[in-house]
Amino acid sequence: MIDFFKVKIHNKAQFEQLIEENKFSYQAVYSSSKDQVIEYPKVYKKDNLEIKITQNHGYLKGSLHKFYNIIHNYNEQNYNHLLYSDLEELIPALEEEYFLRENNNVIQLEVGFNLLTDTDPSEIIRDQIFLHRYEDPDRNKNYGGRGRLKTFKTSQVELKIYDKGRQSNLVNSILRIELKFLRTRKLNSINIFQLNDLLKVDNLDNLFAELIKEYSKLIIIDKNWEKRINSDDDLSVIKQAISSHFWRGFSQKNTWKKKKARMKKVNSILSKYNLDSTKERLLDNIYAQYIGFQERFSEFQNLEIKYSKPKKRE
């Protein structure tokens, strides 16, 4: 579930001393205007982690998921499942090695799930995922043999959906959905301040709830939907719903209420023709993944009821 992170270090001097004493590989920065190597920023690499030290601050970033796999000789990848018990081992070790305990602020964070699909993930992304919060994707790319990707970015978060199976040359069809928190304020609002806050059950619930909230804002429609809708009026409503231009046409007055009422009609039509099964199936998979993430932690033992398979809308 937890993947990319970036923390800002409070005690930069102590952090810098620790890094230099450990003699991590160092990438010098050359200034062509001064014709010399400049002191800052200093960029260090260890495994898949990047350590950056500027004149005033220190930063550490990378994928917790990939880092865990590297140190356990599972290769540098994040297509398997990282469990809570893995975080229990990993985060204290990172805090100890990099002098992070009470010395860091989480400024970016990414959570994600690998979802097995029975159809081609790239086709789902290309043909069935349309809008998020009534807007087109800001990135919509086809990487050929590496699969399809779409991202939807707001001021606070970025939702990323891509073909993990093809990207990693896997036999299985895997669609990955990730939510990246781009602002410290957003993380603080759900009680994420330091790295060890990721070990608190309520905070993980908050992160999961945020991902579900953003997922619910996607317009996802089953394939061949144009052929399966036998009413011209209903077809017109759905064609309008997948157009960001249509949603921008709403007047400023009571826009939110009007859009909500319209989406209620859209969802009713999708349910009427059973065109929401892909979105429901992926949602079921996300919930199942979160339950699996919790399995080996006693404080989560009663959450299976809370996060049971969602009921399909009537």
* pLDDT tens readout for residues 257-280: 999 999 999 999 999 999 999 999
Q: Residue 137: what pLDDT?
A: 98
d(CA 234, CA 209): 32
Q: Encode pLDDT of 229-253 as tens digits.
A: 999 999 999 999 999 999 999 877 7
pLDDT at 107 over 50: yes
What pLDDT, on the 0 to 100 scale, is given for residue 81? 81
Neighbours of 2 (CB within 10 A): 23
Q: Where are the beta strands (DSSP E) in 139-265?
A: 139-142, 148-153, 157-163, 174-181, 218-220
Separation in Å, CA 110 to CA 49, 120, 204, 309? 15, 24, 12, 24
43 near 52, Cβ under 8 Å? yes
- Give the confidence band of 295 by pLDDT, cuts at 50, 70, 90: low
> What pLDDT score does 69 carry?
86
* pLDDT per residue as tens digits for the range 175-188: 999 999 999 999 99
Say if residue 298's pLDDT is above 80: no
Strands 174-181 and 157-163: antiparallel
What are 49-75's pLDDT values in tens digits?
999 999 899 999 999 998 888 888 887
Checking if the pLDDT of 101 tops 90, the result is: no
Contacts of 72 (CB under 8 A, 6+ apart): none
- Domain ranges for the chain, please list them: 2-222+276-306
**What is the tally of helices (H) and strands (E) in the chain?**
13, 12
Span 9-30, pLDDT tens digits: 988 888 888 888 876 666 666 5
- Condensed to tens digits (0 to 9), the pLDDT of residues 146-156 reads 899 999 999 99
Distances (CA, A) of 69 to 25, 61, 90, 207: 21, 16, 10, 22
Which among 165, 166, 173 is positioned nearest to 144, based on CA atoms?
Answer: 166
Q: How confident is the model at residue 309 (pLDDT cuts 50, 70, 90)?
A: very low
Note the pTM of the prediction, 2 decimals.
0.88
Q: Between 222 and 96, where is the model more confident?
A: 222
User: How many Å apart are CA 81 and CA 66, to the nearest integer?
Assistant: 11
